[in-house]
Amino acid sequence: MRTWTRVSAGLFGAALALATVSGAAAQTKMPSTLRYGSGLMDVPVASVLPHLAVVGTFSGFWTSNDTDFVTDDNGVPIAVEPFESGFNSDLSLAVGLFDRLEVGGTFQAFEDEANGGNLVGAFGRLSIVRPQDYGLGLAVGARYVPGPDYGDGIDRAPGRLGRADRRLRTTLGGEDIDTDFSFYAVADAELPGIDSEHLPRHDFTVTGGWGSGMFRDGDRLPWYGATDSNGWFGGVALHVELAEASLLTVMGEWNGFDLNVGAQVDVKGVRVGAHVLGVNYGIDQSIYRSTKFGLLGSVAFCVEQGGLCRPSLKDRVKPDTIQLPAPPPDTVVVTRVEAPPLPTGAPAQICLATGQPVEVLVTSRGDTLVGPSRVAIESLRPGVVFAGTYAEGRAWYEADEPIAFEKTPYARSGGMVRLNCDGITQVGEYMGVPLFVQRGAEKPYKMLYVPVRPGVWQGYEADLRKTT
């Protein structure tokens, strides 16, 4: 493990030197996980890195327990042995593609066969709904880490701490430990903070999801997991703007086994952080069920902009502002507005499609005025309507089609006329439009009247030769 620590530290140092090129770059907010690209500490999020953003991360933790369990072939503890504490390190490299996909590699150990061999894996996440667009996000992803190989022919599973463990076999006590592939679905909510002059600008991220593999398997082993959440995980993060392109993220998470807390500071794409893993364990019982302190360093480089990625909070919607000019000093302006005189006309009545009359005024030009404001009926807006159903605008009327009433066809006859409500009576309807005849007319009716619009009627004459 110490050999791997020196190798990973050297690789991270080279990445840091390469990324010191300054310049404007894409905006990022989400911190780096310990081993699997962007996220909290171990929990994924629904967002992904921007297109061609490359993030290298070096992280590690110190173990705090001096002893650990010895187990039999079924994973049952049978003894306790001294445990060599030390620093456990990991390195990861992630890249964003098309603002929808994030892929990368995780390098957890480069050891000889006696210590479990190499632990090199990969990860990826596809953003289905981007939280940057809607405030809510949805993504699916996968992580792959091969099990350690001690050369003894026994299949072993990788653990959640990124280190080889002889005890963790793919089958223990009749239970399958399938932690090499971990599939998950995760949802996010990105919430703006409280706008106040007494508080720095800040945002919140709330994430939750379900996963297989490392998110759930091994929960029945007393030295590996203390609780069983069946693969459910979640977390919350507070992002605080320290200065332009500088963010502090304080976060807590539940990865299915451990309660972890931590903080990261991102200054123009260079990130440093500290974390405490397993704060839910009051007593150190094993390397998994113990409290561990760790550190993290990360560099985010945006290829398209040729510089470091710049973190930023969610854009705020600026309210519309109307600035009125100041009035001249010591000036009082009094404006007197006189309404124009109302138009005049001769009193008259129009007959509606309901058969009821309405009082109107008719001007010398023939305009029909209605209402207290004496508005011309032709200029009324579409939302103002009179009672009744009218033929104007209906397809059969505009196409000059004949109508039928009591098996008798009627064709349009003459021009439009005005009728007195007292002289007509309704006898039926056609396609929802009422039909009227002259009061006292006898069947078969020779003439029907159809209301075209308020006060305007169209006559339809019967064609008795086509009566069926």
Give per-10-residue mean pLDDT for the chain (468 aa): 46 42 53 93 95 95 85 85 84 95 93 87 96 90 94 91 90 88 96 89 95 92 85 96 92 95 95 95 87 95 89 72 69 68 77 85 70 66 69 91 90 90 90 91 90 90 70
Give DSSP secondary structure letters for 354-390: TS-EEEEEE-TTS-EEETTTTEEGGG--TT---SS--
- Given the candidates 3.40.50.150, 2.60.40.420, 3.40.50.1000, 2.40.160.40, the CATH classification of the domain at 2-311 is 2.40.160.40
Structure tokens at 224: 């590996």
In degrees, rounded to 5, the angle at the alpha carbon of residue 388 between the alpha carbons of residues 385 and 389 is 95
CB 164 within 8 A of CB 117: yes
pLDDT of residue 205: 94
Domain segments of the chain as ranges? 2-311, 346-466
Q: Cα 165–167–168 angle (5° rounding)?
A: 75
Collapsing DSSP to helix, strand or coil, 140 comes out as strand
Q: How far apart are CA 361 and CA 372, in angstroms?
A: 11
Q: What pTM was estimated for this model as a whole?
A: 0.62
Terminal-to-terminal C-alpha distance of the chain: 102
Closest among 11, 55, 14 to 31, alpha carbons compared: 55
407 CB contacts (<8 Å, ≥6 apart)? 467, 468
Residue 413: both structure tokens together: 């006859």
Q: What is the pLDDT of residue 9?
A: 46
Sheet with strand 375-376: strands edge to edge? 346-351, 357-362, 368-370, 375-376
Report how far residue 276's alpha carbon sits from residue 42's, in angstroms, rounded to the nearest whole number.
12
The amino acid occupying position 228 is D
What pLDDT is recorded for position 58?
96
pLDDT of residue 3: 45
Q: 186: burial class by Cβ within 10 Å (0-12, 13-18, 19+)?
A: buried
Residue partners of 149: CB distance under 8 A and separation at least 6: 113, 116, 117, 156
Distance (Å) of CA 462 to CA 261, 397, 408, 416, 420: 89, 16, 7, 17, 22
